[in-house]
Amino acid sequence: MPSVLVVGADRGIAHALSRQLGERGDTVVAACLIGNDELSAAGIRVEGGVDVTSQASVDALAAKLTAEGVKLDSVFHVAGVLGLDEFGSIDYDDVRRQLEINTIGPLRTIEAIRDLLHDGSKVGIVTSRVGSLGDNSSGGMYAYRISKAGANMVALNLHHELSKRGISVLALHPGMVATELTKDYPGDYDYITPDQAAAGLIADLDALTPQTSGRFQHSNGTFLPW
């Protein structure tokens, strides 16, 4: 059965991903900042204390899985934060925080676990369409947009790097999902549930091939502009 690492599985989309992947029979490692009793009760392996802003933390996870001989068929890197800001009152400490988690986090994590990947592995980095330069028609949300644009570049760079080893990479937009992360998001949207988003993201990564690697895909299956 496939072995899958889900990063950021404490709640929301990544929690739903872990549960759905486990329910279909995949061997799931749910990496959480704290932990998750619900996932553990469902028989899913939970690794707590995984902080994507800490090199020591992600290195420890990689070392533990390596020592156990784990080889990963798929990775969903979901850990992220959303902070709102307005031009004229931008909190630059929060800009740095979002960059550290949303942009550097996936790069740090995938680099740390690179030797657990193999020819045929698939990596999905959950970013957001607000990080798309081609789709930005409103501006605003400086820190979040910049950090997610950076995450998109991370995904594309990793595609070029890892495709040499037969590993495919996608940047993934989950859709407008009703979670704690988006509860203060401005505007009126038709939100989907974390379960709906997770199902779409799983389908996207399942369908990923070397030919479609290095692209930016919505959970509904459509491709987005960078």
- Kindly report, residue by residue over 41-72, the tens digit of the pLDDT: 999 999 999 999 999 999 999 999 999 999 99
Per-residue confidence at 35, pLDDT binned at 50, 70, 90?
A: confident
CATH architecture of 3-218: 3-Layer(aba) Sandwich (3.40)
Instruction: Find all residues with CB under 8 Å of 10, minimum gap 6, and list them.
Output: 32, 33, 34, 35, 36
pLDDT score for 177? 82
pLDDT score for 183? 52
pLDDT score for 187? 58
pLDDT score for 120? 98
Q: Whole-model pTM above 0.85?
A: yes
Mean pLDDT on 196-220: 97
Where do the structural domains in the chain lie, given as residue ranges? 3-218
pLDDT score for 185? 59
Neighbours of 169 (CB within 10 A): 25
> Which residues share a beta bridge with 223?
217
Q: What is the pLDDT of residues 130-183, one digit of tens each?
A: 999 999 988 999 999 999 999 999 999 999 999 999 999 999 999 878 665 555
Retrieve residue 81's tokens: 């934060």
pLDDT score for 45? 97
pLDDT score for 190? 73
What's the mean pLDDT when you consider all of the chain?
94
Q: What is the pLDDT of residues 110-127, one digit of tens each?
A: 999 999 999 999 999 999
pLDDT at 184 over 60: no
Mean pLDDT on 90-104: 97
pLDDT at 188 over 70: no
Per-residue confidence at 33, pLDDT binned at 50, 70, 90?
A: very high
Mean pLDDT on 29-40: 94
